[in-house]
Amino acid sequence: MLRLYNTLSRKIEEIAPSDGREFKIYNCGPTVYDYAHIGNLRTFTLQDLLNRYLRFHGFRVKLVMNVTDVDDKTIKRSAERGLPLNEFTSKYAQEFLKDLDALGILRPDKLVYATQEIPEMVKIISALIDKGFAYKATDGVYFDIKKSGDYGKLSKLKLKKLKSGVRLNVDSYEKNTASDFALWKAWQESDGSVFWSAPFGKGRPGWHIECSAMSLKHLGKVIDIHGGGVDLVFPHHENEIAQSESFTGSPVVRHWFHSNHLIVEGRKMSKSLGNYYTLRDLSGYSARALRLLFFSAHYRDELDFSLVSLANAEKTIKGFDEFVQKLSACKASGGTLEAGQLVKEAEEVFGGSLDDDLGTPKMLAGLHGFFRDANKLIDSGKVTLGGAKEILSFLERINSVLGVFRFDFSDKLSKEEEKLVSMREKARKEKDYKKSDELRQRLLKEHKIQLDDTAGGFRWKRI
C-alpha cells in the first residue's frame, strides 16, 4: 500500500480513499496572470505522478483543480493591458493547459474557474457571518481567526505569535486583528468593472475562500488528498482549513500533500536575477527531459535546477529512446529466463520505491540499473523477440506513471538509404571490410544515419 507524508501529522501514513473506492483529490491550480514558471510546473508534475500512480494501483480518482482568474494580480495586469479581466485571464489559462499537455500531465477531471463559482463563495461567507466566525468591515468581510480554536495546526504556527493589530472603530466593523484574513473585498475604483453583488456589499472574493468553495462544491465535505506547493502551507492552506471547518463543523481534508521548492543553481528563481524560466524559455529541450528532471529529487526535497542538469536529463531521454529502439530490433526466436528475471526485479524496485512516499530517486536508480543489465543482454544477443516484448510491456506499464518513454518510432529508411544499408550489410558478410566501412561512413556523412553492429545483428539510428 502507498505510504505518503502528511503535512498535517508530520508523519508518513498509509493512504486509502475514505469510501474505499475513489480518491477525491483537490489540487491548487494556477493564478492566470502570466505564464507558469518551471517551479509551478514541477509542483503540477509531482501531483500528476501521485494521480497516475493511484490509477496505476487500480483506484478511481476524481481530481479537481481550480483556476484563480480573479485576484489582485489578475485585476492589476488586465488593467495595465487595457483588457477585460476574462479576456486577459483566458489567454493564460489556455497557455497553462498547453503546458500541462506538453509535460504529459493528465488534465484534471474537473477544472474549475473562480469567477464561475462566486454564488458558492457568497453562500459560505454568509454562513460564516451568521455563525460568528466572520465579521463585516468597511473594506470587506474578514475571518476572525480567534474564533478558530486550532488555527495553525497545519503550519504549526501558534496563534499568540501572530502579530495583532488594533481595532479602531467597533461600530464601523474595522478589521479586528492584523492576522484576520479577507473573505470578501469591497469594491474600489481600481477594480473597475470587476465586482459581484452580495448581501454584504458589492465586491469580489478573497483568494482563500475560492478554494474552500470549489473543493466543497465539487468533492463534498471530505477530501482524501489536498495538494499544493510547500509555499501554500501558510497562509493559504491554513486559512482554507479555518474557513472550511468552521463552515462544515468537521475536518475536511484527510491528507495534505506538499512538494518543495525548485531553486536555480542554489538561488531562488527570480526575473531580476535572470534565472527565471517558463517552458517557452526551454524550447531547445524536450518536455520529457524536464519531466524526468523533476523526478530526480524527492518531492519533499528542493530541486536545484540548472541548464546542465537539464542537458544531462536530455541525454538520459535519448538513451531511453535508443534502448526502446534496440528492443524493437530484437528478432531472434526462442526464450530466455534472464529478461524475465530482470523485469521481475525491476518491477519490485519500481513499486517498492514509489509505495514508500513516492521515492523517485530510488526508483530512477533502480531503472538505470535495469537498463544497464538489459543492454548487456541485448548486446550479447541474449534477448529474443519474446524477451524484448516482455521488457517493452514492462516499460509501457510504468510509463503510465512516469510519462517519459517513447514507443512510436515510425521513422523509416528511404529507398536510397535502404539500398546503401543493404549494400553495406552484403559487403560486411562477404568480409569486404573496406567497402563496408566506406558505405558506413557515407550513411553517416550524407544521411546522418549511424550503424551499430552487435551480436544480434546491426542497428541503425538517426543522429
Residue 169 has what pLDDT?
Answer: 39
pLDDT of residue 164: 46
Is 242:43 a contact under the CB 8 Å cutoff? no
Q: What is each CA distance from 238 to 119, 147, 157, 312, 412, in whole angstroms?
A: 23, 14, 10, 38, 56
The arithmetic mean of pLDDT across residues 259-271, rounded, is: 96
Which pLDDT band holds residue 154 (cuts at 50, 70, 90)? Answer: very high
Residues 186-194, mean pLDDT to the nearest whole number: 95
The model's confidence at residue 168, banded by pLDDT at 50, 70 and 90, is very low
Q: Residues 96-126: pLDDT tens digits? A: 999 999 999 999 999 999 999 999 999 999 9
Rounded to 5 degrees, what are φ and ψ at 299?
-60, -25
- Average pLDDT, stretch 319-346? 86
Chain centroid, CA 344 distance in Å: 28
The SS3 assignment for 26 reads: strand
Average pLDDT, the chain: 92
Phi, psi of 5 (to 5 degrees): -70, 135
Measure the CA–CA gap between 69 and 143, rounded to whole angstroms. 22
Q: What is the pLDDT of residue 379?
A: 87
Of residues 139 and 431, more confidently modeled: 139
| Sheet with 262-264: strands ordered across | 267-268, 262-264, 303-305
Q: Sorting pLDDT into bands at 50, 70 and 90, what band is 408?
A: confident
CA torsion sign, 272 to 273 to 274 to 280? negative
Mean pLDDT along residues 186-212: 97
Report yes or no on whether pTM surpasses 0.85.
yes
Mean pLDDT for 439-451 is 82
Q: What mean pLDDT comes out for the span 291-311? A: 98
CATH, domain 3-259, list 3.90.1150.10, 2.170.120.12, 3.40.50.620, 2.130.10.10: 3.40.50.620
Cβ count within 10 A of residue 268: 12
Residue 247 reports pLDDT greater than 50? yes
- Rounded distance, CA 344 to CA 416, Å? 42
**Comparing 232 with 20, which gets the higher pLDDT?**
232
pLDDT in tens, 363-389: 999 999 999 999 999 888 888 889 999
Rounded Cα–Cα distance for residues 262 and 441 (Å) = 44
Residue 31 is classified by DSSP as B
If 0-12 CB within 10 Å is exposed, 13-18 middle and 19+ buried, where does residue 275 land?
middle
116 secondary structure, DSSP code: G
Q: At 255, is the secondary structure helix, strand, or coil?
A: strand
C-alpha 210/C-alpha 118 separation (Å) is 8
Q: What is the pLDDT of residue 428?
A: 85
12-22: average pLDDT: 95
Sheet harboring 181-186: ordered strands across?
A: 134-137, 140-143, 181-186, 203-205
By mean pLDDT, which of 73-87, 206-220, 429-443 is the weakest?
429-443
Q: Where in the chain is the domain with CATH 3.40.50.620?
A: 3-259
φ/ψ of residue 270, rounded to 5: -155, 140
Distance CA 445, CA 108 (A): 47
pLDDT at 345: 96
Q: Which residue has the cell 489556455?
A: 94
Whether residue 235 is preceded by a cis peptide bond, meaning omega within 30 degrees of 0, is: yes
Amino acid in the structure at residue 232:
L
pLDDT given for residue 456 in this prediction: 59
